[in-house]
A and B are shown apart, each in its own frame.
Chain A
């Protein structure tokens, strides 16, 4: 896996990978850290409340978060988040396949580690 980009804000994609799926009008996105040492940072950075607050016009319903401590992953369930679902949405991406990258594009909660510091 490549190192985080220099001189750039650190985003979730720098520490984690994700996949989006759909059932009806509900999207689910699972997110996994590459390095277990980053799991606490991921949990702090991507919360149900933050997703709901950041994307109110995408996620019209509630957001649930499930934590898989043993596998270092999070699973988000985004209700009413697909403009009616794959057969109703007029978005080109009617499955919401790209919602994984919507979340991976969020900035991490912590500031970037100082050069030469104990950054991960």
Chain B
């Protein structure tokens, strides 16, 4: 890292598995970053990755890894920017080997790629482990387990940085830890310095969802307008040794960084603001200050922390069979009544003819779908869509439902059209806690 400034500059190049690539390249080229973090794993994606790996042992990592690395490896090396990512998902070793091959193909001789493993704890968690946040144990779930991943913290990432990795690839690396680790490495923060662990975790928490702090997941026309959202830039954090930071983005990019975008992200997926648990610290965001510091610049300070939890969270994925979704549309006068009649017919057919009594949801989009259970007032509309979703261990149940919805074209209410249906594999996830001593992270370096 040839940067001589006193702050450390981290950019986010992905905030979820399907996040955009071109703004990451913009950051890699113009960002003058010390580190580019790509956060690509959630409760849903890690479980699906396990299914991919079961189907093909060479897969199970992020499906966009290849394209991301082909585009980003060379410009990041040129800029002296390290990459840290959890794109390894359920198969970090395969992801590192694939990245190594891409680096060699690009002629990036000597590029150091660290692979972090040890988050897969499938063999270390007994079936009588109690569930987090709900009664019962893992043994109560009558479905095959596809994978178990413990959230790894900064201490799992630090050895790779100390060994001079240019690229760090792991599986279930905790989102904020991927930002905290390079800060602790650069500034020499000790794991016992809980306030700095809290401050670095705040930076990570704010940055981990990419554009959610630069105007994405924010725009509400007429109320919260965001300029040029189609060209939204990813965020940059300029972090000082005391852990305070300025959140900003590249000049010329779309989007907006304001106290409002920062505050919405500050508590995103947070429960008690004074007690945000990560593998590294019990972070306290309750006294954080958020201050405007110029155009698209917001200063955050005042995060604190207490002792880290003694246990680590583990995401357990189960094979839940199949999920089918299907729909038919109705428009014009009486569309709402015809859509409701279609919903009634499908419900009766599934129940009375096919004797299906598993989980199914039948809504009329345009009347009430997302808010169906909220019993909100009915909209006056002439363009509705029947939407049916069903989950079952049996693929045939899903196929039957799709067949029933399609049959409405000839057997249902008047004027129904536009049938579409799809069946996808279903996973279910639960969380448990295990003692951190039972999780043993490891690091291996591959050199191109």
Residues of A in contact with B (beta carbons under 8 Å apart): 1-2, 13, 17-19, 21-26, 28, 30, 32, 34, 54-55, 57-58, 64, 66, 68, 70-71, 73, 75, 77, 84-88, 90-93, 97-98, 102, 105
Contact = CB atoms under 8 A, between A and B. Distances in A.
Contacts of B373: 55, 57-58
A23 to B, nearest CB: 6
Given A86-B44, A87-B320, A91-B370, A66 B272 contact: yes
Nearest to A98: B370
B288 A71 contact: yes
Contact of B223 (A17, A24, A90, A91): A17
A100 B315 CA distance: 26
Interface residues of B, number: 56
Interface stretch (B74-82, B179-187, B246-254, B263-271): B263-271
A95 to B, nearest CB: 9
Given A2-B222, A24-B133, A73 B267 contact: yes
Interface string B109-127: 0000000000000000000
A17 B374 contact: no
Contact of B263 (A25, A54, A71): A71
B281 interface: no
Contact of B290 (A17, A64, A71): A71
B427 A87 contact: yes
B350 interface: no
Given A17-B220, A93-B370, A30 B264 contact: yes
B260 A25 contact: no
Q: Which 5 A-B pairs have the closest CB atoms?
A: A21-B269, A90-B361, A30-B267, A90-B389, A19-B264
A57 B374 contact: yes
Interface string B269-282: 11111000000000
B224 A1 contact: yes
